[in-house]
Copies of this chain bind each other. A is one copy, B any other.
């Protein structure tokens, strides 16, 4: 699945009034649109206690989780978020066989739509699958991308943006480093687009050459192969998860050597600013991408990320539902 431009992909997720009616990618959305998501999410968080408050914005709505690729963790966050908005949530069992042919997938989705689905939360191993569903199959069901192939993971990116805004401050003052397997990471792609749009002062990636994307020159970000240089004076350090299956391939020299070179240790973290925050999309491989003492240390905001993920998903679900209604 390819889209000719960020413009086209972005337009697909907006209604005629320019409001979100799907949430497929951070790419191509405006600073105002991303900021609205962050502000809406923040509105669910009690300013004093920090507790996430419920809101009946999706009462009577039916949210269907379609996880073609298993992820208990992400599915659970969407299930909690939708229920906190008063929605009925169904986790659809998807047999892999029934999705091998595009046409069968189409029929399945048409049927789920006819069963009065209002929102599909879609995770799929193929890049572009949520776009395909939103554009070609069920445009009147709000489609939320919960991760597609190597393409995008926009709710993860937005919860990271909310974490940065709350714990590190205004984007225009911030230098942000993303560390690890940039090439295969949909999280990194979505983060970079969001950081650029939100006006981060500086975006860096730190990775061995084998884990850098090939088409990276035009993204306007700084590339480092050594942690000492890449982390120097950053405000935010984001360690990516290394997929175990990749560590066994020829791309990487093994978990031990990766940790030695790129593991986020107390030692290496000293290169960053003293109050730099440490983030990770989870689940953590302790001793591979990150030292336990850093993950659990005072600079880590990793569990805040998880918590804000509920608020961000509540924001995206309710905004897209509203955009669907207004756009009809």
Contact = CB atoms under 8 A, between A and B. Distances in A.
Contacts of A113: 303
21 contacts: A60-B84, A62-B84, A72-B92, A73-B111, A76-B92, A76-B112, A79-B90, A80-B88, A80-B90, A80-B115, A83-B88, A84-B88, A107-B283, A107-B284, A107-B286, A111-B282, A111-B283, A111-B303, A113-B303, A115-B306, A116-B307
A77 interface: yes
Question: Which bracket fits the contact residues of A?
Answer: 35 or more
A171 interface: no
B115 A310 contact: yes
A282 B62 CA distance: 21
A103 interface: yes
A112 B72 CA distance: 11
Interface in A58-98: 60, 62, 72-73, 76-77, 79-80, 83-84, 88, 90, 92-93, 95
Contacts of A114: 303-304, 306-307
Nearest to A60: B54
A73 B104 CA distance: 13
A282 B284 CA distance: 40
Given A54-B60, A303-B110, A309 B115 contact: yes
A52 interface: yes
Given A52-B116, A62-B83, A76-B115, 14 more contacts: A72-B92, A72-B93, A76-B90, A77-B115, A80-B90, A84-B88, A107-B282, A107-B283, A107-B284, A110-B303, A111-B283, A111-B303, A114-B303, A115-B310
Contacts of A76: 90, 92, 112, 115
A172 B287 CA distance: 58
A103 B286 contact: yes
Interface of A: 52, 54, 60, 62, 72-73, 76-77, 79-80, 83-84, 88, 90, 92-93, 95, 103, 107-108, 110-116, 282-284, 286, 292, 303-304, 306-307, 309-310
A190 to B, nearest CB: 20
A286 B76 CA distance: 35
A79 B93 CA distance: 13
A52 B60 CA distance: 10
A103 B292 CA distance: 10
A90 B283 CA distance: 19
B72 A306 contact: no
Contacts of A306: 111, 114-115
Nearest to A282: B111
A79 B283 CA distance: 27
A61 B261 CA distance: 44
Contacts of A54: 60
Interface centre among A77, A110, A116, A309, by most B CB within 10 Å?
A116
A277 to B, nearest CB: 16
Contacts of A307: 114-116
Interface centre among A72, A95, A115, A282, by most B CB within 10 Å?
A115
A284 B104 CA distance: 9
